Amino acid sequence: MIDNALIALDALFDPMRLAALFAGMLVGMVFGMLPGLGGVAAVSILLPFIYYLDDYSGLAMLLGAVSVVYTSDTITSVLLGAPGSPASAPTAIEGHALAKQGQAARALGVGFLASMVGGLVGSLVLFFAIPIAGPIVLMLSTPELFMLALVGLFFASSMIGKDLAKGLAAAALGVLLGVVGPAQAAADFRFTFGQVYLLDGFSLTIVALGLFGVAEVISMLAQGGGISHQRMEVSQWGDGFRDFWRHRWLVLRASLIGVLGGFVPAVGASASTWVAYGHAIRSTKDKSKFGKGEIRGIAASEGANNATVISDLVPTLLFSVPGGPAAAIFLGALFSFGYYPGPRMVTQNPDLMFLIVWSVALTSIVGAALCFAITPMLARLTRIPFAIIAAPLVLVMVIGAYQATSTIGDIFMLFMLGALGWLMKHGGWPRAPALVGFVLSGPMEQYFWLTNQIHGWSWLTRPGVLVIASIIVIPLLISGVRKLRQWQSNEAVTEPEDTDTAEECNRSVALMLAALAATLFLYALWETFTFNPASRLMPLLAIAPGVPLTLWLVFRGVREFKPDLARDAGELTILAVLLAYAVALWAIGLTIPTLALLCWMLLARAQMRLWTAALYGAVVFAAIWFLFDVLRGDPPVGALIPLS
């Protein structure tokens, strides 16, 4: 085994292969930084090129791209607050809050190092794929996978926040978004309103970009000025290294959570990242800083997401079952080089297996180092007026969203969910539970249904199920016992002092959102009765708490109502402009609305001088066309005026 490992290492150090690996890594870094474009886009772009290379070089190129995306996305998440990829939404929450406090270097340092550890743990798991990881994957049948989803939900419950009603309503809303589209259990298409677009449900990328990215861009555009009001020092990495070392065990635990997430077929890095983030919240005594810049949140989520994409390769290589979307494309590439993954391939081509291990390990380290190197340059961007960055940022998000199905529906969804995210942000609803509900509702429903169909209720006594259940039960018991002791010793429960300095939510927006959500839930309740009984369970799980909660929130909203909508009038205008942009894209195609949007942002918002704006706008516009061209070839064409 060691022999093969060394042979593979030698094979990788062929200059051509190293060049391919690092070329892939650079593409992966760029795509990791572009919000909405991640591993899948990077790998799809590289796919045509690998056929010009030999098999090892081609695969190394893809692996270079896959294993660095979740390292470099940290930069966008922290500096801009828009998740660089869906799985770094927790990093965007915590890291961006830290960046606003002038602690970007600390957040980035921990993020890069945690990503590197996640990548290395993933490689180690891959190294022991045959003796250890393979049997674990085979042990995870549908009942165990269902239990894992429950564990995720349990960890996620710590994200609800202080306003219980709003947190739960947000989670229920997320689950409701998650059940749109084909039901797992029976042949029902739920809440599609006869739109073919909705037949597949919502794309995770669009939901994450809409809820977090668009809403963030709107706020920053309205505030004006740069991203950070304080000078952002990112040359001092010492704090980051110290923080990383202090939380090393958390990073390691998060990486293991990520590895487990990778073993579950077709569950991407998002689910395990949220679970790891939830774990970080649960395992932190002073929870008050979560949501306002907690370094442990970054350490956990970055450790998890990189571990997931790499351990995604375990089911891919051992069973030909892709663990995630990027792994699916990698599987296709293996096919086209004539490798047919399976237990046989792994024993017949051990060199290839170790080549993969070395590639991801090497990229994890070099990628993190490179991120450290380029960040000081990128951080300067945060000093220039945000409106200048916002223009390309919005357009890249549009392209990222457009990757889902390449129909105008993607763009509408992006901005409609952006509006929802904005309402939630200003109405005081936490967005994390909504995204978690969205991510987990699919696997939960699917595995519950399959489990019950195959095993009846006997699955409850399976040893694997009991082991996983203990992850939930033991912490509950411990905290129960602790509470009991405190109660016996009559000790006052010392809750950490609430240091909530965040601005109060906008009452009008809160009322609007509550009314909107209540309408959605009531409509969903009505439509649910037309489904097969098996397809009703999951929607009802969202609707049953959703209806009373949102009605209560409407009632509360009316009681506390203040006509304070004008406070956020500036942001509302920007939201309206973005929605109008989406409609114009649909009506008259890409070119004219995009030019108009660029003019408005650069001249009206950023107040650039005419000739600078013209030059900069032309460069951005050309870059956008170039991206459309390499990614797909045809930008949206107008429905009323057939321009593109």
- Stretch in the footprint of another protein (CB under 8 A) among 217-225, 333-341, 469-477, 548-556: 333-341
The yes or no reply on residue 331 touching another protein (CB under 8 A) is yes
- Candidate residues 131, 463, 563, 633; the one interacting with another protein per rule CB under 8 A: 633
Packing angle, helices 2-12 and 55-66, rounded to 10 = 90
Are the CB atoms for 468 and 144 separated by under 8 Å? Answer: yes
**Cβ neighbours for 605, distance < 8 A, ≥ 6 positions apart:** 221, 224, 387, 390
Among 73, 94, 188, 568, contact with another protein (rule: CB under 8 A):
188
Q: Residue 88 or residue 184: which is nearer to another protein going by CB?
A: 184
The yes or no reply on residue 216 touching another protein (CB under 8 A) is no
Q: Which CB sits closer to another protein, 374 or 454?
A: 454
Query: Residue 331 or residue 370: which is nearer to another protein going by CB?
Result: 331
Give the count of residues interacting with another protein (CB under 8 A): 56
Question: Hey, is 189 helix, strand or coil?
Answer: strand
Scanning residues 534 to 593, which ones bind another protein (CB under 8 A)? 534
Contact 221, 393 (CB under 8 A): no
CB of 450 to another protein, least distance (A): 6
Residue in 213, 278, 322, 418 binding another protein, rule: CB under 8 A? 322
d(CA 42, CA 73): 13
Q: Which of 138, 460, 474, 544 lies at the binding interface for another protein (CB under 8 A)?
A: 138
Separation CA 214–CA 218 (nearest Å): 6
The DSSP bridge partners found for residue 191 are none
Number of other CB atoms surrounding residue 288 within 10 Å = 15
Q: Is 311 in the site for another protein (CB under 8 A)?
A: no
Residues 588 and 636 sit within 8 Å (Cβ to Cβ)? no
Return the range that interacts with another protein (CB under 8 A); candidates 19-27, 197-205, 233-241, 368-376: 197-205
Rg for the chain, CA atoms, rounded: 24
- Please report how close the Cβ of residue 612 comes to another protein at its closest, in angstroms: 38
For 289, counting Cβ atoms within 10 Å of its Cβ (0-12 exposed, 13-18 middle, 19+ buried), the class is middle
For residues 107 and 94, the answer to whether their CB atoms sit within 8 Å is yes
**Contact map string, positions 340 to 369, toward another protein, x by CB under 8 A:** xxxxxx------------------------
* 453 binds another protein, rule: CB under 8 A: yes
Residues 6+ apart with CB under 8 A from 574: 218, 221, 222
* Residue (277 or 531) nearer to another protein, CB: 531
Per rule CB under 8 A, is residue 612 in the interface with another protein?
A: no
Mask of contacts with another protein, 396-415, x by CB under 8 A?
--------xxxx--------
User: Looking at beta carbons only, is 344 or 559 nearer to another protein?
Assistant: 344
CB of 458 to another protein, least distance (A): 12
Helix (H, G, I), strand (E, B) or coil at 473: helix
Q: Which residue has the tokens 């900069």?
A: 616
Subset of 20-59 contacting another protein (CB under 8 A): 43-44, 47
Distance CA 147, CA 133 (A): 19
Rounded distance between C-alpha atoms, residue 112 and residue 234, angstroms: 13
Residues 265-284 that bind another protein (CB under 8 A): 265-266
Q: Is 182 in the site for another protein (CB under 8 A)?
A: yes
Structure tokens at 631: 């990614």
| Residue 463 touches another protein, criterion: CB under 8 A | no
Is position 199 an interface residue for another protein (rule: CB under 8 A)?
yes
CB-CB neighbours of 584 under 10 Å: 18
Q: Stretches 158-166, 194-202, 380-388, 553-561: which one binds another protein (CB under 8 A)?
A: 194-202
Binding residue for another protein (CB under 8 A) from 65, 333, 440, 468?
Answer: 333
Question: Would you give the distance in Å from CA 359 to the centre of its chain?
Answer: 24
Q: Binding another protein by CB under 8 A: which of 196, 460, 558, 623?
A: 196
Residues numbered 417 to 446 that lie near another protein (CB under 8 A) are: 446
User: In the numeric block, which tokens belong to residue 484?
Assistant: 């009991």
Cα–Cα dist 217/207, whole Å: 15
Beta bridge partners of residue 182, listed in sequence order: 189
CB atoms inside a 10 Å sphere around CB 100:
18
- Residue nearer to another protein on the CB measure, 51 or 555: 51
Q: Which stretch binds another protein (CB under 8 A): 26-34, 85-93, 192-200, 486-494?
A: 192-200
| Residue 466 near another protein by CB under 8 A | no
| 200 touches another protein (CB under 8 A) | yes
Give the burial class of 49: count Cβ atoms within 10 A of its Cβ; 0-12 exposed, 13-18 middle, 19 or more buried: middle
SS3 182: strand
Q: Which of 407/479 has CB closer to another protein?
A: 407
Helix 238-246 × helix 104-127 angle, to 10°: 50
What's the closest the beta carbon of residue 36 comes to another protein, in angstroms? 16
Q: Which stretch binds another protein (CB under 8 A): 195-203, 288-296, 554-562, 584-592?
A: 195-203
The residue (of 225 and 342) whose beta carbon lies closer to another protein is 342
Question: Does residue 526 interact with another protein by CB under 8 A?
Answer: no
Structure tokens at 506: 């906008």
Least distance to another protein, CB of residue 49, Å? 13
Q: Say whether residue 205 binds another protein (CB under 8 A).
A: no
What's the rounded Cα separation, in Å, for the pair 233 and 106?
9
Residue 592: partners with Cβ closer than 8 Å, 6 or more residues away: 584, 643
CB atoms within 10 A of CB 3: 10
Stretch that binds another protein, among 339-347, 352-360, 466-474, 609-617 (CB under 8 A): 339-347
**Any contact of residue 460 with another protein (CB under 8 A)?**
no
- Name which position in 4, 101, 141, 157 contacts another protein (CB under 8 A): 141
Q: Which two tokens stand for residue 297?
A: 């949140």
Binding site for another protein (CB under 8 A): 43-44, 47, 137-138, 141-142, 182, 184-189, 194, 196-197, 199-200, 265-266, 315, 319-322, 325, 328-333, 335-336, 338, 340-345, 404-407, 446, 449-450, 453-455, 532, 534, 632-633
